[in-house]
A = this chain, B = another copy of it.
């Protein structure tokens, strides 16, 4: 039995070392050069696998998606039909996403950019501020991550709502569901957060029409967006247009249609845009490997796997 990493864009040495550390008995191999006999491979962990690599493993029993989003796996047109896919969604990844969301909501709420600009000019300006309860935060996507972010923002005093495909119930959080309630969700939202998976339905969801439906009653007079979902969800040219038209106050973006974000992209230099390099829920290789190793152990002991992906839903 062997385990294979299929991560063409990642520093594989680091990952092999991490997996060997947490599972010293596992036969860890790295595609392409270290693959060895394909018949040995029963478990594989992948990110952006090239076509035919996973398909070429005749005894593959489980595929692990390295990251909370599975779009990087599902886009493989030759993905074997009958092999279960496990989404890595450990508590560490969730905590890191929550940190990112709380940090960037607070940076907007407390006007930290304005304070930074004042510091550069040595200006002591204690402008009036508002309470967290004056801000309505709306989270698109109420999976494990969305729920955790919602609870922590609620505890800080924000008015929090969430929107998801199927209705959720979260104490102290207003839950909207489905296409029919999308407009009502947007209309009450001052800060819109995306933690949605990448699916056909969510592609381009952050567009000018969506932004124009957001609340303008918040303390900044125009809404704010934070995208930590997937870059395909935002129409970057619409975001720029809305910022310049005053229809959007500011944007914090961790994900982009093309990553790394090209150096000539105007998002880098817009004064109201914060660009972060897809690090919102960047987890520790050892933590991810420990999760994968524990799931392999469960599978070998005939125990059910956690976080199985529904390929039809796309997450």
The chain A residues found within 8 Å of chain B, CB to CB, are 92, 95-96, 98-100, 102-103, 106-107, 109-110, 112, 115-116, 118-119, 122, 124-132, 152, 155-157, 259-261, 263, 268-269, 274-279, 282, 284, 287
B103 touches A112 (CB 8 A): yes
Q: Pick the 4 closest A-B CB pairs, nearest first.
A: A124-B260, A103-B106, A126-B277, A122-B268
Excluding A95-B157, A126-B279, 9 further A-B contacts by CB distance (< 8 Å) are A95-B131, A102-B156, A103-B107, A107-B112, A115-B279, A116-B274, A124-B259, A129-B282, A130-B284
Which of B129, B261, B276, B284 contacts A279, CB < 8 Å? B129
A125 touches B277 (CB 8 A): yes
A100 touches B110 (CB 8 A): yes
A118 touches B277 (CB 8 A): yes
For residue A276, which residues in chain B have a CB less than 8 angstroms away from its CB? Answer: 115, 119
For residue A124, which residues in chain B have a CB less than 8 angstroms away from its CB? Answer: 259-261, 277
Can you list 14 A-B pairs with a CB-CB distance of less than 8 A? A96-B129, A96-B131, A98-B156, A99-B106, A103-B106, A106-B106, A107-B107, A107-B112, A118-B277, A119-B275, A119-B276, A129-B282, A129-B284, A152-B152
Q: Which residue of B lies closest to A130 (CB)?
A: B284
**Bound CA–CA A157/B282 (angstroms):** 16
**Bound CA–CA A276/B124 (angstroms):** 8
- Known contacts: A124-B261, A131-B92, A282-B129. The answer to whether A103 contacts B110 by CB under 8 A is yes
